[in-house]
Structure 1
C-alpha cells in the first residue's frame, strides 16, 4: 500500500506559515509536498505573485469578484503560479491540499477536484471570499485555542474547525528565567523603533533587555540593552527570558505560550485585524498583558510587574504540547476518509 501525497501551500508573508508547514510535515506519516515562493529546495518553488507596490492580502481592484481577495490582472507571475500548481496537482494527484493561506489557491485546488483543508488565521474573516473558501473546504485548521476565537465567526465555521494551539517548532528547554526582558521582532514587519525600545530599557535599569530580529541599535544605547540581530535559536531566547515582548502573530504567540513565559503583547496592523483579534482573545483569557501600541517609557516598570503577576495556569490553556501529533493523526483520518490508500505499483 502506498499513500498519495498531501499538498501544502505556504504563504510567503512572515515566517509563521513556513514554520507551521514544517511542523505538520514532520509530524505526519503521510508524504507532504510544500508549494510556495520562499521554500527553496524543500518543495515546489512558485513564481512571485506580488505587485510592485507591495502586498497586503488584497488587490483593491474594482472589478474583482467578491469571492476572491487577490487576483490582479495581466500578472505574469500569477499566470505561471497557477499553471505550476495545476500541473503538480495533475501529476501528483494529491489526496488533500492544505492551504496556508490563500482563498485563490483554495479555490484553484477545489476546482482541480482536490479536497481542501484551509488554515484559518485569527481576525474577522466573515467576508464572502473567506466564507466561500471555508464552505468549499473539507475541513478547517486553526493554529490557535478555541478560547480566542473571534466572536463574529459563524458557528458552522467553528464546527468545521480542528483547533491546534501549539504548532510551533519550539523545543523543550530548561528555563533559567534570567530576569531579562526579551523583545521579539518577527519577519512580517514591525512598527517599533530602536529608539523607543532604548527608552523603555532606560526606564527599567533593574532589568536586562535583549532584542532579537532585524533591527540595529540606536546611537545612544543603554548598557542594559543588547540588539542581538536575528537568531535561529529563538526558542532558547524565549525560554530563558523572564518576560517576552512581541506582536500577536501566531508564530510568536505559539512560541511564547509553548515556553510558558509572561507575555506583553503589542499587536501589529495586519489584514482582517488578525493580530488585534488574537491580542483581544489573550486579554480576555488573562493570558497576556495587551497594549495597542508601544507604551511610553515611564509605563514599562509597571507593565513588566503586571506581566510577572499573570497566572501561569491561564496561558497554559493556550498551548497543547501534543497539538502537532493530534493534528497529524487527524490529517491521516481525513486522507483515509477520501480513500487515499492505493496498491503499490
Structure 2
C-alpha cells in the first residue's frame, strides 16, 4: 500500500476531477501537489501541498523548453524553482512508494531522478515529441484514460488503458431524457454564442452548466441524464461523464496543445458516438445539428467507463508494491 504522491496540473478542473474519481479506490495515504487552491473537502488520509505558479511574468521568453528537450522549465523563474524545491523537499522527508503525474514531463523527470517510480497519465493527440517520449520511457506505468485501441499508444510496454474515467461511474440513472432539453457544458462557450443558439432553436430549452460561478453545477449528474442533447468540448472528463450518462451529444473540440481534443473528436465521429462539429455552429445551423444528434443511438459501452477508475487505482497501486 504505502504512500502515493500525485501531481495535479492547474489548467481547468479536469485533472482534479480525475484525481477525485480515482482516489475513491486508491488505498493508503496520498499527498497531492498542485498550484490549484486546496479544495474545501479532501478525502480521508489525503494531504495537499500548494505549489507556486511558474507561468506568471514572461517565462515564455526564458527558454522554457531548453531548446526543445523539455516542455516548461523557464530560466530564472523563482516560482518554478520553489515548486520543484517543494516537491524535492517532500520526497526527501518521507518515503514515497509511487508518484502519479497528471500531467507534467518535468515533474515526472524530477520525481524519477529522486528515485521514486512514476505513473504518468497520458492524453490523446500527438505525443511523439522528445519530452513526452522521455517521460513515458522512464515511467513504471503509463496510464491511459481511454479504452484499448482508442488512440495511438505511446511506445512503451508500461501502458495500461483503463477506459474513460468518470466521477459518475457507478451512479444510478434515475432521470429520463426530457425532449427539447439541451445542456451545454460551458467551459469555453461564449455567452453570446449560447444565447444565439438558443434563440435559433424555438421549442428547445437550453441550460448552460459551467464556465462561470453563476452557471456552475457541483453535481451535474441529473442534468446530464435529463438533457435530450448534451453539447460539450472534447475534454476527457466531459466525454467520460457523457458516456456514463449514455447521452446523445454534440461535441465541439477546442484548440489544445498536441491536438488533444481534435484527436478525441475524430474517434467519436468514427465510432458514431456523437455529432462532432469542427467549430461552434452558426445560429442557423443549430436546428439541423440537434436533429442529427437526436437521431443517434450511441453505444457508450465502447468508452469503457464502468470500472475504469477502479482499474486505474489498481494499476497505480501495483507500482512500488
TM-score (normalised: structure 2): 0.91
Partner of 2:57: 52
Using the TM superposition, give the Cα deviation of residue 165 of structure 1 relative to its aligned residue in structure 2, in angstroms.
Answer: 2.3
What is the distance in 1 between the residues matched to 2:222 and 2:240?
14
What is the distance in 2 between the residues matched to 1:65 and 1:117?
26
CA offsets per residue over residues 1-41 of structure 1, 9 Å max, x none?
xx420100000001010011112222112322111111416
Cα 1:288/1:48, change in 2 over 3 Å? same
What is the distance in 1 between the residues matched to 2:258 and 2:239?
18
Q: Which range moved further: 242-251 or 141-150?
A: 141-150
Partner of 1:293: 279
What is the distance in 1 between the residues matched to 2:248 and 2:61?
38
Using the TM superposition, give the Cα deviation of residue 236 of structure 1 relative to its aligned residue in structure 2, in angstroms.
Answer: 2.1
**SS of 2:76's equivalent?**
coil
Partner of 1:134: 136
What is the distance in 1 between the residues matched to 2:165 and 2:260?
17
Using the TM superposition, give the Cα deviation of residue 278 of structure 1 relative to its aligned residue in structure 2, in angstroms.
Answer: 0.9
Aligned equivalent of 1:332, options 300, 317, 321: 317
Using the TM superposition, give the Cα deviation of residue 134 of structure 1 relative to its aligned residue in structure 2, in angstroms.
Answer: 0.5
**What do you get for the CA RMSD once the two structures are aligned?**
2.0
**Does structure 2 conserve the Cα–Cα contact (< 8 Å) formed by 1:166 and 1:322?**
no
Q: Which range moved further: 233-242 or 288-297?
A: 233-242
CA offsets per residue over residues 120-159 of structure 1, 9 Å max, x none?
0111110000011101111101112234304xx45x34x4
Question: Please, which runs of 5 or more residues in structure 2 have no aligned partner?
Answer: 43-47
What is the distance in 2 between the residues matched to 1:80 and 1:6?
21
CA offsets per residue over residues 96-132 of structure 1, 9 Å max, x none?
1100000000000010011111000111110000011
What is the distance in 2 between the residues matched to 1:306 and 1:13?
32
What is the distance in 1 between the residues matched to 2:247 and 2:130?
38
Using the TM superposition, give the Cα deviation of residue 242 of structure 1 relative to its aligned residue in structure 2, in angstroms.
Answer: 0.9
Partner of 1:302: 288
The question of 1:242 aligning with 2:228 is answered: yes
Using the TM superposition, give the Cα deviation of residue 53 of structure 1 relative to its aligned residue in structure 2, in angstroms.
Answer: 5.6
Partner of 2:146: 144
What is the distance in 2 between the residues matched to 1:110 and 1:65?
22
Aligned equivalent of 1:318, options 295, 300, 303: 303
The question of 1:167 aligning with 2:172 is answered: no
The aligned runs of 1:218-297 (5 Å cut-off) are 229-297=215-283
Partner of 2:176: 176
Number of equivalences: 311
Using the TM superposition, give the Cα deviation of residue 271 of structure 1 relative to its aligned residue in structure 2, in angstroms.
Answer: 0.9
Cα 1:34/1:322, change in 2 over 3 Å? same
What is the distance in 2 between the residues matched to 1:91 and 1:62?
28
What is the distance in 1 between the residues matched to 2:130 and 2:303?
29
The question of 1:197 aligning with 2:194 is answered: yes
What is the distance in 1 between the residues matched to 2:314 and 2:66?
38
What is the distance in 1 between the residues matched to 2:283 and 2:260?
27
Using the TM superposition, give the Cα deviation of residue 65 of structure 1 relative to its aligned residue in structure 2, in angstroms.
Answer: 4.1
CA offsets per residue over residues 61-110 of structure 1, 9 Å max, x none?
28714331001111111111011000111122111110000000000001
Using the TM superposition, give the Cα deviation of residue 167 of structure 1 relative to its aligned residue in structure 2, in angstroms.
Answer: 1.8
Cα 1:31/1:287, change in 2 over 3 Å? same
**SS of 1:162's equivalent?**
strand
Question: Please, which runs of 5 or more residues in structure 1 have no aligned partner?
Answer: 217-227, 337-345
Partner of 2:45: none
What is the distance in 1 between the residues matched to 2:65 and 2:142?
29
**Does structure 2 conserve the Cα–Cα contact (< 8 Å) formed by 1:35 and 1:46?**
yes
What is the distance in 1 between the residues matched to 2:38 and 2:194?
34
